[in-house]
Amino acid sequence: MSDCLFCGIAAGDIPADVIYRDEDFVVFRDIVPTAPTHILVIPVQHHENIAELANADVELAGRFVQTATTVAQQEGVHEGFRLVTNTGDEGGQSVRHVHLHVLGGRQLGWPAG
């Protein structure tokens, strides 16, 4: 999708602080972090949200979570971390390309939102 910010990052056309890349996923630091560790995991292939991804490719959806978990551990958030994906307007989704926020490095509060 030519107008998708995250597709542009995945393609390398838009700069980002990329910390991991493979043929299916790109991981980069959030430009407005809300925790000491705040990274985003995106699939290279465009899917609007987690529901669309899960319905289209359950195997890729599983590797999406696995990649986020692996990168979280590599980033040193061994005491705990949170994975967040926002879906739709009421879910707070601002970029219409599925992504996981990996948050850690401090005590995270609950309830979220």
Which tens digit of pLDDT belongs to each residue from 64-109?
Answer: 999 999 999 999 998 999 999 999 999 999 999 999 999 999 999 9
DSSP state of 3: T
Mean model confidence pLDDT for the chain: 95
pLDDT for 1 beyond 70: no
Catalytic residue list: 99
Domains located in the chain, CATH noted? 5-104 (3.30.428.10)
State residue 112's pLDDT score: 77
Secondary structure element (H or E) that encloses residue 73, with its range: helix 58-74
Three-state secondary structure along 19-72?
EEECCCEEEEECCCCCCCEEEEEEECCCCCCHHHHHHHCHHHHHHHHHHHHHHH
